[in-house]
Amino acid sequence: MDVPNSVTLAAAEADAAASLAERERAFYNEKGETSYHLVRGWIWRAIGEFRRNEEAHDLYDAAGKDVLDYGCGPGYLTKQLIDAGAASVTGIDVSNAEIEQAQRRARQDGVEGRCRFLVADAHATGFPDDSFDLVIGDSIIHHLDVRRALVELRRILRPDGTAVFLEPLWHNPLLRVGRALTPSARTPDEHPLTVDDWALCAEIFPAFDHEERELFTIPLMPLNLVLPTRLQRRLAKRVWRFDDRMLARFPGLRKHARSTFLVMK
Ligand SMILES: C[S@@+](CC[C@H](N)C(=O)[O-])C[C@H]1O[C@@H](n2cnc3c(N)ncnc32)[C@H](O)[C@@H]1O
């Protein structure tokens, strides 16, 4: 019997990552023909004013940096990065439909001459070593083979570079119920991050830190389907303060938050 050696194992792992990327491409290219947008709309209504995603962008400074938006989707962040003074902005995504949308958006925003978008697999981007000062991503790592992605990020980041990601977490049972109820808004392979993924980040990046947001807001999310925005906002401010205190005081609760912000150097 042939025993697989390290070369054949590495090739099998690369094939598995390429197949994963292919399935993601098919899902995102075809999502316009499914109930994806409808279900996503309901999810965003339930998150409502509890959302703290924007705070991830306070964790980096794009000014003067060569920035990569990793898994850029429709390019929501491009204008913000250019306005913040990025020296260059590159967006990659495995879906050509998403890249076309990002290009359209950049044209509409009048920034198309100051950014570029490429169809590429995040596991094997094809960029030379040390290409970027800053890599950012919103909800991408949990669509990837995490180890392969982190090794690729380490390779394309300059030695003094930083990578910042906003990702969902897996451990809270209420979030798992929410996911189970909304399968058409999820790709078959996506996997919100676990404490093991934090350990992997720490293994591959010598300086790794993470922060969590949205915890006691989670059981209150169904209220947002009926509360007016003004009341959601008032409630959010109170619960955020409570969340921050509890997460600082009881670190064991951190894995139960909705979002984790990863900062890797
Ligand atoms: C949840 S969406 C997030 C998109 C965008 N960052 C945003 O916040 O709107 C995940 C994105 O990852 C992309 N993606 C999934 N697997 C990928 C891969 N292997 N390489 C590059 N992009 C990938 C998908 O096409 C999709 O656009």
Task: Determine, yes or no, domain membership for 165.
Answer: yes
- For ligand 1, whether the C-beta of 98 sits within 6 Å is yes
Which residues, 6 or more positions from 74, have their beta carbon under 8 angstroms from its beta carbon?
Answer: 98, 101, 102, 105
- For ligand 1, whether the C-beta of 136 sits within 6 Å is no
Task: Determine, yes or no, domain membership for 19.
Answer: no
Task: Determine, yes or no, domain membership for 6.
Answer: no
Task: Determine, yes or no, domain membership for 5.
Answer: no
Task: Determine, yes or no, domain membership for 110.
Answer: yes
CATH code at position 74: 3.40.50.150
- Secondary structure of residue 88 in the 3-state scheme: strand
Residue 255, token pair as written in the block: 């894995």
Please state at what angle helix 96-108 crosses helix 6-30, rounded to 10 degrees: 50
Q: Give pLDDT, residue 194.
A: 98
Task: Determine, yes or no, domain membership for 22.
Answer: no
Q: Give pLDDT, residue 230.
A: 97
Cα distance between residue 165 and residue 46, in whole Å: 22
* Domain limits for position 201: 32-264
Task: Determine, yes or no, domain membership for 18.
Answer: no
Task: Determine, yes or no, domain membership for 14.
Answer: no
Cα distance between residue 194 and residue 20, in whole Å: 19
Residue 111, token pair as written in the block: 């920034």
Give the number of other Cβ atoms within 10 Å of residue 250's Cβ. 11
Q: pLDDT 10s per residue in the chain (265 long)?
A: 566 788 888 899 999 999 999 999 999 999 988 899 999 999 999 999 999 999 999 999 999 999 999 999 999 999 999 999 999 999 999 999 999 999 999 999 999 999 999 999 999 999 999 999 999 999 999 999 999 999 999 999 999 999 999 999 999 999 999 999 999 999 999 999 999 999 999 999 989 999 999 999 999 999 999 999 999 999 999 999 999 999 999 999 999 999 999 999 9
Which residue of 13, 24, 138 sits with most ligand 1 atoms within 8 Å of its CB, as the best mutation to test the pocket? 24
Which residues, 6 or more positions from 141, have their beta carbon under 8 angstroms from its beta carbon?
Answer: 149, 165, 167, 193, 197, 262
Query: Is residue 263 within 8 Å of residue 221, measured between CB atoms?
Result: no
Cα distance between residue 175 and residue 221, in whole Å: 10
- Reduce the secondary structure of 197-241 to three states and give it as a string: HHHHHHHHCCCEEEEEECCCCHHHHHHHHCCCHHHHHHHHHHHHH
Q: Give pLDDT, residue 1.
A: 58
- For ligand 1, whether the C-beta of 140 sits within 6 Å is yes
- For ligand 1, whether the C-beta of 142 sits within 6 Å is no
Q: What distance lies between CA 6 and its chain's CA centroid?
A: 31
Residue 178, token pair as written in the block: 């929410």
| Total domains, the chain | 1
Q: Give pLDDT, residue 5.
A: 85
Q: Give pLDDT, residue 32.
A: 85
